[in-house]
Amino acid sequence: MLPVTIVSATRFNEQDFREKSALGRSLTQTYAVFNLKREIFYENSRGLGACYNQAIDAVENEEEIMVFVHDDVFLADFFWLDKLVYGFTQFDVLGLAGNKRRVSKQPAWAFIDDQFTWDDFANLSGVVGHGNGFPCELSIYGPTMQKLKLLDGVLLAVRKKTLMRNAIRFDEQFRFHFYDMDICRQCEAKNISMGAIPLGVIHASGGEFGGPDWRDGYRTYLEKWRD
């Protein structure tokens, strides 16, 4: 079995996570046979960065593949572990969708301004399902397995050694919004390769763009990176 640890933070308690959340149901029912290691933060009220860093510190094996994933994600691909192996032959950090470029003051991987103008689809990569089961709607952004500069944080996979050897950690000032933009910027600065892989998931909720917390995160992001 691959050295894989699933990392997620949830507002559910342990029982409700297993029975009600998309990720918990995936792990408990479909993939129970895999007996995957887990770092799940139940009844969580902390920012994702703090939880994710705690999970990184808790893992001892530097070869460990850490999959940071939201709790509202169904793992719908029976071969998703094989897809991770395939992805790591090409890239150091894996995701589901992202952008081949980054423009100044970009507020999210898919948008080029804070009015949420979509980037040209020629720059985008990945496929994500949406809904509460299958069949589901698909967002097809573009071909996978391309070198990217930004990834969607709904699912990020990386070996612990990549983070440790490059002194990369999640910035805990980004509680939920912009933690993914920030860590991609860190990876870009260290020339760490990133790409979206052909991995089937169904995301049970959409993004929360434009709200007060999002705006606060955007200001903090611009203060840190300046562009």
- Upstream peptide bond of 3 is cis (omega within 30 degrees of 0): no
pLDDT value of position 227:
85
End-to-end Cα distance, the chain:
42
Segment 28-46 mean pLDDT: 94
Structural domain containing residue 9: 4-225
Residues 38 and 24: their CA atoms lie apart, in Å, by: 11
Share of the chain above pLDDT 90, in %: 91
For 40-61, what is each residue's pLDDT tens digit?
Answer: 999 999 999 999 999 999 999 9
Beta bridge partners of 84: none
> pTM for the complete prediction?
0.95
pLDDT value of position 49:
95
Instruction: Count up the domains in the chain and report the number.
Output: 1
pLDDT value of position 207:
65
Q: Residue 198 belongs to a domain with what CATH number?
A: 3.90.550.10
For 116-168, what is each residue's pLDDT tens digit?
Answer: 999 999 999 999 999 998 899 999 999 999 999 999 999 999 999 999 999 99
Residue 112 CA from chain centroid, whole number = 20
